[in-house]
Amino acid sequence: MRALLVEKGEDGKTSASVTEVAEADLPEGDVTVAVEYSTLNYKDGLCIGSGGGLVRNYPHVPGIDFAGTVETSDDERYKPGDKVVLTGWRVGEVQWGGYAEKARVRADWLVPLPDGLTTRQAMAVGTAGFTAMLAIQALEDQGLKADPILVTGAAGGVGSVAVALLAALGHEVAAVTGRPEQEEYLRGLGASRIVPRADLAETVKRPLETEEWGGCVDAVGGAMLARILGQMRYGASVAAVGLAGGPGLPATVIPFLLRGVNLLGIDSVMQPYENRLRAWTRLAEILPMDKLEAMIQPATLDDLPELGAAILQGQVKGRVVVDIA
């Protein structure tokens, strides 16, 4: 089977190339899937490159997401021919993932392909889109009372899907981007306001600023998240999803204490099955498929080394869909 294999040289440096790999080398698991599509997330960029502390053993096949057809199954929940999706569970990090014609995983980690989505569309969503849905569900569970809703890292994967979902749900969306050339793209997804990244780049000077945002999906973290906390409306929530701008949080606790602002942590990797189904079902119901199509950048396994480096530089727009079959 063809796979993108990452190998580590004696000098400790990694290199990724498309090569033939024996099926017998697949990890243990109870379901073998013929992979049709995979995708590219920020984490995949790390795993294609240096490993970013995520990959334990080499040679390694990255790909934290895949969708395809069950080929063999030792688990009664799945039978040959079933369409399935996998995101998270550290597949593509600590064990081989979706950048190969076949993948073998535990049945517990799979979800059935949601009605209304193709395997290609499911990978246009991928971990990034699934996480955007989890973030919006978390905001809704806290009560989304007022607009606008802010989305940071908006032209990226999580951000693009979050903008499209929030707009489809009828919210007024403000999109933060460092790429002014993506304004038309973001307005096409449903953003009604573009906020230049530079407007939120400075570190916190005043712990409370004018109340602006009724909610926020934050893919950036760092100084930007700290600034945003001080701009949230009374009682509003921020879903902390990512760290594209850094893992630090140079903030004060004042917005929590004086404005009852909530900071909600979002993890897509270890989400329990029921919540996964809830998110995938809603994605299939809500996400406008024409908007999803507009986010797609098609790719093959051969494109991944270059794209992996690009996503780490914040240079990928929307969602890369990797055609494996």
Element (H, E) at 158: helix 157-168
| Least distance from ligand NDP to the Cβ atom of residue 24, Å | 32
Sequence letter at residue 122 = A
- Is the Cβ of residue 6 or residue 189 nearer to ligand NDP in the bound state? 189
Nearer Cβ to ligand NDP (30/183): 183
Q: Binding to ligand NDP by residue 269, rule CB under 6 A?
A: yes
Instruction: Give the CA distances from residue 216 to residues 97, 221, 222, in Å, rounded to whole numbers and listed in that order.
Output: 31, 11, 14
Nearer to ligand NDP, 157 or 230 (CB): 157
Helical (H) or strand (E) element with 70: strand 65-73
Q: Is the CB of 73 or the CB of 152 nearer to ligand NDP?
A: 152
Taking CB under 6 A as the rule, does residue 42 contact ligand NDP? yes
Q: Which of residues 55, 86, 113, 154 is near ligand NDP by CB under 6 A?
A: 154
Nearer to ligand NDP, 153 or 190 (CB): 153
Candidate list 3, 31, 36, 43; residue touching ligand NDP; CB under 6 A = 43
Residues 231-260 that bind ligand NDP (CB under 6 A): 241-245
- The torsion angle over the Cα atoms of residues 47, 52, 57 and 62, rounded to 10 degrees, is -10
Least distance (Å) between residue 216 CB and ligand NDP: 14
Q: Considering Cα of 268, then 55, then 247, then 124, what sign does the dihedral take?
A: negative
Contact with ligand NDP (CB under 6 A): which of 83, 104, 120, 197? 197
Q: Does a cis peptide bond (omega within 30 degrees of 0) precede residue 59?
A: yes
In angstroms and rounded to an integer, the radius of gyration of the C-alpha atoms of the chain is 20
Contact, 34 vs 28, CB < 8 A? no
Q: Measured from the CB atom, is 90 or 179 closer to ligand NDP?
A: 179
Least distance (Å) between residue 84 CB and ligand NDP: 20
Question: Which pair of structure tokens corresponds to residue 106?
Answer: 């535990």
Which residues neighbour 21 within 8 Å (Cβ) at sequence distance 6 or greater?
1, 2, 3, 5, 61, 100
What does the binding site for ligand NDP look like in residue numbers (CB under 6 A)? 41-43, 127-128, 131, 153-159, 177-179, 197, 219-220, 224, 241-245, 266-269, 311, 314, 316
